């Protein structure tokens, strides 16, 4: 299961509603608008970067996959790096969205903890493609301090927006954290990361019996205490 820039079924860019620009709300045909092309380029970049790595990916392949030429690209982004930063921004939002809805769903499950483990594990951002992309973006921040700042900001924003959901979930389960929320989040994130990576490398993605599923209850138990209210 090599990660390849899947041959692109059509010119459809399934996910991500186009950021509104100009007069919107009217169902225009995919207008030749600046922001629309940016989105398509970003979509393409996500796939190609995931497969080949940022350094290994050529601007050309990104454009090709997006259905444009390099001319269009350089008309939208000054450089490849700029594309990377833009992508980093976008991915954070996508991740947050998916996390929160998945968590919301899981809470209605008879076994909330187990449901969390499995549902989060199956999230797109934890699939092979997106895992590679996220890992690489992180790696870039580790290497390049000029990216570290935006990276930290992005994470901070993610945290601030996600923590409420975590609290909510714990409250619903009648649990209270016994460690700092940031630490809990980091630890759980690390667990999922390791779990997803192991599954990918093992070749059986979405394995229902994964590290996260086994360890989440244990870790959660260690980091929380039942609350009597």
Partner DNA sequence: TGTATTGGATACGCCACCGTATCCGATACG
Partner DNA sequence: CGTATCGGATACGGTGGCGTATCCAATACA
Give contact residues for a second copy (rule: CB under 8 A): 1-3, 50-56, 128, 131-132, 135-136, 138-139, 141-146, 148, 151-152, 179-180, 183, 186-187, 189-191, 193-195, 197-198, 200-203, 211, 214-215, 218-219, 221-223
Nearer to a second copy (CB atom), residue 37 or residue 200? 200
Unique residue bearing structure tokens 């409420």: 164
Nearer to DNA (CB atom), residue 101 or residue 146? 146
Site for DNA in 140-159 (CB under 7 A): none
Rounded Cα distance, 16 and 26, in Å? 17
Token pair, residue 153, equals 């900001």
Nearer to DNA (CB atom), residue 66 or residue 223? 66
In the complex, least distance from residue 90 CB atom to DNA, rounded to whole angstroms: 18
Rounded Cα distance, 223 and 200, in Å? 28
Nearer to DNA (CB atom), residue 72 or residue 86? 72
Residue 32 touches which member of a second copy, DNA, none, C-beta under 5-8 Å by kind:
DNA
Contact 99, 162 (CB under 8 A): yes
* Beta bridge partner(s), residue 175: 226
CA atoms within 13 A on the CB side of 141: 17
In the complex, least distance from residue 155 CB atom to a second copy, rounded to whole angstroms: 8
In the complex, least distance from residue 41 CB atom to DNA, rounded to whole angstroms: 9
Site for DNA in 41-80 (CB under 7 A): 57-61, 67-72, 74-76, 78-80
Angle subtended at Cα 27 by Cα 21 and Cα 33, rounded to the nearest 5 degrees? 35
Unique residue bearing structure tokens 């389960």: 173
Residue 213 touches which member of DNA, a second copy, none, C-beta under 5-8 Å by kind:
none
Nearer to DNA (CB atom), residue 76 or residue 154? 76
Site for DNA in 76-115 (CB under 7 A): 76, 78-80
Listed as own residue / partner, the contacts of 76-84 with beta carbons closer than 8 Å and 24 or more positions apart are: 76/34, 76/37, 76/38, 76/41, 77/38, 77/41, 80/54, 83/41, 83/42, 83/45, 84/45, 84/49, 84/54, 84/137, 84/140, 84/147
Token pair, residue 154, equals 């992005």
Residue 69 touches which member of a second copy, DNA, none, C-beta under 5-8 Å by kind:
DNA
Which residues sit at the interface with DNA, rule CB under 7 A? 32-34, 36-37, 57-61, 67-72, 74-76, 78-80
């Amino acid at each position: 299961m090599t990660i390849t820039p899947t041959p692109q079924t059509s010119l459809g860019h399934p996910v991500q509603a186009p950021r509104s620009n100009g007069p919107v709300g009217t169902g225009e045909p995919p207008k030749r608008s600046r922001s629309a092309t940016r989105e398509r380029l970003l979509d393409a970049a996500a796939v190609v970067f995931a497969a080949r790595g940022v350094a290994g990916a050529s601007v050309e392949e990104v454009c090709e996959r997006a259905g444009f030429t390099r001319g269009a690209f350089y008309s939208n982004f000054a450089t490849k790096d700029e594309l990377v930063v833009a992508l980093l921004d976008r991915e954070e939002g996508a991740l947050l969205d998916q996390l929160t809805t998945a968590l919301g769903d899981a809470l209605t499950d008879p076994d909330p903890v187990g449901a969390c483990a499995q549902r989060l594990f199956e999230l797109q951002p934890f699939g092979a493609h997106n895992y590679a992309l996220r890992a690489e973006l992180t790696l870039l921040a580790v290497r390049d301090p000029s990216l570290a700042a935006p990276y930290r900001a992005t994470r901070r924003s993610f945290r601030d927006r996600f923590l409420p959901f975590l609290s909510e979930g714990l409250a619903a389960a009648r649990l209270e954290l016994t460690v700092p929320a940031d630490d809990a989040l980091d630890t759980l994130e690390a667990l999922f990361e390791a779990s997803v990576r192991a599954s990918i490398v093992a070749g059986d993605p979405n394995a229902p019996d994964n590290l996260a599923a086994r360890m989440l209850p244990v870790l959660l138990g260690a980091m929380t205490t039942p609350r009597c209210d």
